[in-house]
A and B are shown apart, each in its own frame.
Chain A
Amino acid sequence: MKALAQAYKYKLSRHKAIRDSHLEQFDASSIGDLSFLLLIFFIVTSSFLLKQGLFLSLPSSQSVSQSIDAKRVLDVAPKENGFLTNGTLINEENLRKAMQEKKEQVEQPVILIQMTEGVPYNRLITLLSISREEEINKVSLKFK
Chain B
Amino acid sequence: MNRKRNRLQQTSIGAAMADMAMLLLIFFMVTTNAEPPQGIEVDLPTAKTQENKGDSLFITVASNGDYYFEGAKTDLDSIKNSLLQRPDDKDKTIAISADQDIDYAYIGALLIELRNADFLNVLFVSQDEEQLQ
> A interface vs B, CB < 8 Å?
28-29, 31-32, 35-36, 38-39, 42-43, 45-46, 49-61, 115-126, 128-129, 132-133, 141, 143
Contact = CB atoms under 8 A, between A and B. Distances in A.
A43 B26 CA distance: 11
Contacts of B21: 32, 35-36, 39
Contacts of A45: 32, 34
A143 B111 contact: yes
A51 B36 CA distance: 9
B122 A56 contact: yes
Nearest to A38: B25
Interface in B95-112: 95, 97-108, 111-112
28 contacts: A28-B14, A32-B14, A42-B25, A51-B51, A51-B97, A51-B123, A52-B49, A52-B126, A52-B127, A55-B50, A55-B123, A55-B124, A56-B122, A58-B115, A61-B118, A116-B104, A117-B108, A118-B105, A120-B100, A121-B102, A121-B104, A122-B101, A125-B47, A125-B100, A125-B124, A128-B124, A129-B129, A143-B111
